[in-house]
Amino acid sequence: MLHTWTGRPAWKEVDLAALRYNVALIRRHVAPVAVMAAIKADAYGHGAIPVARAVLAAGAAGLAVATVEEAVELRENDISAPILNLGWVAPEQIELALRHDVQLTVFDYENAVQISAVAARRGISAVIHIKVDTGLTRLGFNYRPAAMAEAKLVYALPGLYVEGVFSHFADADAVDPGYTAQQIERYHAFVAALQAAGLPAPVRHLANSPGTLGVPASYLDMVRPGLILFGCYPAEHMRPLLPLKLVMRVIARIAQIHTLPAGDYVGYGCRWQAQRESRIATLPLGYADGLPRLAGNKADVLIHGQRARMVGSVCMDQIMVDITDIPAAKAGDEAVIVGQQGEEMITPEELAAHAQTISDEICTRFGQRLPRVFLDTDFSRGGLSMIEKVETKYSAANTGHYSPAIKYNGILFISGQLSVDPETGQAAPGGIKAEARQALKNLELVLHSAHVTKNDVLQCRVYIPDIAYWEELNEVYAEFFGAHKPARAVIPCGQLHGGCLVEIEAIAACGEE
């Protein structure tokens, strides 16, 4: 195999095309409910900034994080979408959070008073989401009447705008749905009590990843998938519910190969002994890179598309694997620790089972020390193909920009279509409505080249210089799509390419070829 990565010989690949595919799939699964992508813990170890951009491009309505620092990192990298901090914000961090337009979770009255005081001093309305503890016993107003009365007092505090009321499941990945149904019932009772007192709950959200996969009763106004964005499953019985694509691959190259006689030991503690003449390969990653120490003598890696067992103890920086049955393996060859190679696949769930943990932990453990390589179109792994590029006078002759579309396992991703007339190479004359019609016409050309129609469009992102243009543009948008109403996100972004007023990206269903 030709190595395109020339850095440290152990690295992590993050497939952004697969990520966008997963988001589109999840959006279809829960439609018309909004999707807030939970990208806490550095997007479960995948890289918060590239992941944030990818999930928003695929139609996520907002982002959820666990700490103020995570939210600030997104803002400092020009992420302007709504960000909800799901965790506790200490009093000394409230000012920082509000300065960066972060929505905050309120879980008790004292917490609300602290946020109110800072917001009132700044002369703003802090956007908050009230959290209800329906049975996880973590954060939140207790669902029982005494705490419910306290939650009602939050609405009277100055400087607060209650945008949402939410809770979190404790056991939604269980085969028995009983406890989850009980949590849903408690949540609805809490919200009904607020509404009976004339207190709104504009955005109601309950579903985490397992709820999003398998509990339709929990979809409400918004869902908050996290783990499943990255192609992992909360439980094995949930795998048939949605054909997700694994986003992460962890790879290392063989550093050295030893040939051992029967009876020799491998690794710290002499925990593995060769029962025959054996070839042992050393790979340059270990538990400091996130590989669980419990994986030793249990887990496999993939070399030449075949499984090879990790042998001996996992070291801080290295592991050893038995390649006796892979005679072609040599120093420099790639070994896949998580991900696909050939027809074989090692999932985070498989590795988690060997380490007596969950796939969430496996993903987040492969953290900062491993270099990350972000892939956007990985043709080598199948299922991804470029469709014919739409060559117009505008794209080919005037700007050299082709605006291609990419098919990925039944999903069509269409890059930005500007409001340029292909005959003149200039922005369509006549103002915002004329430009909107031209951009949509260009979009339809790309759809036609992929043998799909505008009725297959799942969502659009509409870029305009200023939100003031949207009212007029919306008339044209509604006229174009008619009764079919794909989800949309409108992004005011200042200057567009070539002085245009409109640019449109889209995701459509295109079926398998």
First to last CA, the chain: 27
Alpha-carbon distances of 349 from 169, 197, 356, rounded to whole Å: 20, 45, 10
Let me know if 40 is a catalytic residue.
yes
Closest CA to 174 of 91, 93, 238: 238
DSSP strand E in 242-305: where?
A: 248-253, 256-260, 265-266, 272-273, 278-283, 300-303
Of the CA atoms within 13 Å of residue 191, those in its CB half-sphere come to: 24
Closest CA to 161 of 190, 137, 131, 125: 125
Please report the DSSP string for 178-217 in residue order.
HHHHHHHHHHHHHHHHHHHTT----EEE---HHHHHH-GG
3-class secondary-structure state, position 408? strand
- The one-letter amino acid code at 111 reads N
User: Roughly what angle, to the nearest 10 degrees, separates helices 145-154 and 109-122?
Assistant: 0
Phi, psi dihedral angles at 280 (to 5 degrees): -120, 125
**Alpha carbons 3 and 218: distance in angstroms, whole number:** 45
**Alpha carbons 71 and 73: distance in angstroms, whole number:** 5
- The answer to whether 468 and 438 have CB atoms below 8 angstroms apart is no
In sequence order, what are the beta bridge partners of 69?
none
- The one-letter amino acid code at 418 reads L
Q: Which of 12, 21, 40, 44 is catalytic?
A: 40
Phi, psi dihedral angles at 5 (to 5 degrees): -95, 125
Let me know if 441 is a catalytic residue.
no
In sequence order, what are the beta bridge partners of 105?
129
Beta strands 405-408 and 487-492, pairing class: unpaired
- The answer to whether 463 and 493 have CB atoms below 8 angstroms apart is yes
Alpha-carbon distances of 196 from 108, 148, 152, 201, rounded to whole Å: 20, 12, 11, 11
Find where tokens 């103020």 sit: 68
Computed over its alpha carbons, how large is the radius of gyration of the chain?
Answer: 26
Closest CA to 291 of 270, 312, 269: 312
DSSP 171: S
- The one-letter amino acid code at 493 reads C
Q: Which residues are catalytic?
A: 40, 268
